[in-house]
Copies of this chain bind each other. A is one copy, B any other.
Amino acid sequence: MGVIHRFTGDETAYDWEGVTDKAYQDGDVKGATKKILMGPAEESLNFRMRYFRLEPGGHSRLEQHPHEHGVFMLHGRALVRHGDEEVELGPRDVIFIPGNELHQLRTVGDAPMGFICVVPAH
C-alpha cells in the first residue's frame, strides 16, 4: 500500500504526519535537522527522500562519498559547495551532485534553509 505523509509544518520548518526527526550530528554539522520522508519505514527499495532543515548559521558536513545526491531547494537560501565551485541557490532550484564530488550546504541569511535530498537506498 502507498504510504502518505501529510504536510503539517510552516514556511520555515516543514513537518509531516508520521515522520520523526532523525539524529543528524555527523561530525562537523551545525544547526541541522533531518527527517526521512521515504526510506526503510516506507519500504522504499531503491531510493530515500529526506528533508533537511538548516538554521541560520548552520551547515552540513563537508563530505565526499560514492553515492549521488538529488537536491531540490524548498525554503530559504543556500550556499552550496560542489567540487571547487560555490553557488547560491534559492527555493525550487535543483542541483544534482554526482558520486565522489566534495560538497557542503550552508544557510545564507537570517531565515532557516530547507531542502529535499534524494539518495540511493544502497
Binding site for B on A (CB under 8 A): 1-7, 9, 14, 16, 37-38, 42-47, 49, 67-68, 70, 72, 80, 82-83, 85, 87, 89-99, 101, 103, 116, 118, 120
Chain B residue at smallest Cβ distance from A91: B7
Q: Is the interface of A mostly helix, strand, loop or mixed?
A: strand
Output the nearest chain B residue to A72 by Cβ-Cβ distance.
B116
Q: Which of B14, B95, B97, B120 contacts A47 (CB 8 A)?
A: B120
Contact B2 A94 (CB under 8 A): no
CB-contact partner of A2 in B2, B37, B47, B83, under 8 A: B83
Partner of A1 from B2, B7, B101, B120 at Cβ < 8 Å = B101
Given A70-B44, A98-B43, check contact A49 B92 (CB 8 Å): no
22 pairs of residues in contact across A and B, judged by CB atoms under 8 Å = A1-B82, A1-B101, A2-B80, A2-B95, A2-B96, A2-B101, A2-B103, A4-B94, A5-B93, A7-B92, A16-B93, A16-B94, A37-B96, A38-B70, A43-B96, A44-B70, A45-B68, A46-B120, A47-B47, A49-B70, A49-B94, A70-B118
